[in-house]
Structure 1
């Protein structure tokens, strides 16, 4: 065998080996890059394991009934923390009465007529309170304005409109005492005290002034305290209609004379 023949034979075997390698590499490259996912040739995803069915309950053995201890139950029932039912509150007659009144008022205010009436009642009450406050500020004698009027004395003049400076008090006092009208005599004596203090410049007498206004005009001292006691006794007798015995009348007259004595003993302030 010659050398050229050997060279030709070796080249032919090398070419066949290269072709065989190229044919083996081509299917692997096509499977890796050319085929899309999911293609039958690309290979299937690994299969998930199937879920096992649940086991049936065991009914062969019966479950024993558990009962709590009776003594323990009685102990728990006796504890206040385990009492969940509140006792109904007992209501009396007046509670039920006022509850009905408030329900009726709530129902009344729910209507148009009721709201109008309620507004009128509110405004009238407010006006009454304001009027009372104004009368108190003006020092109006509410006992005389709204109370019972004192009984008439049967004398031929009206002391409410008479000027105390024009009344003959000694003669009128003697007349009332002779008639047994001791309440009127006590009133005449009190008016005589007012006249004495007015004449002495202790106070400014006016027919529409109240006894408290006269008391406020006097300075602190013995005269003011004597006049306070005299005024208290007079108001009990006249406005309170306190029945007077002869002994009580003499006590009232002593208090009235005490005011005159204190007025004389006290100098008039400059």
Structure 2
């Protein structure tokens, strides 16, 4: 009951104050030209949204900072940063060592073992370019007697060329070299050794140690004969 009495009193007081306000109302108007000039300004154009790369990058960086970067610089991540630095330093050290080993300076500390050439790939054209005697010793030490027979034949051919018995030229066949030998005894020996070599090498015939020693003796005897006047 008291609430309704107070409400009625407040409404009556408000009506009295409104009815007693007799001040003059001032009417204001706006210049349409002024409004049009303001509307034409780009700063007040809110209808079209414009894309700004700068604003976009700012938004991306702000997002990264809020979601990632600020957490990385947190003191709790100091140990993680140290671990990352050590890991990157280790990778850099491995890279430097690998580059050093691949460079020419590495030969100052060690030499790479070069694999000997494949005997089957050696041709008559290589007799003056390869260390045939050294290759022969390696083949004998490894009991590769078939390869050793081929090397013995190439050494004999080299002796013939070095002493002027035959004229060495790329692409010649064994029988062409044999036909150039004027000394009949030497020619017969070389012809016999050629047949032995072709039988062992092209016939894929494996030679036993005892048989190889006999073949080697024949080749060495032939080499001595090539030093004699022909």
TM norm structure 2: 0.46
Q: Which structure carries more helix by proportion?
A: 2
- Structure with bigger RCO (C-alpha 8 Å, 6+ apart): 2
TM norm structure 1: 0.40
CA radius of gyration, larger in: 1
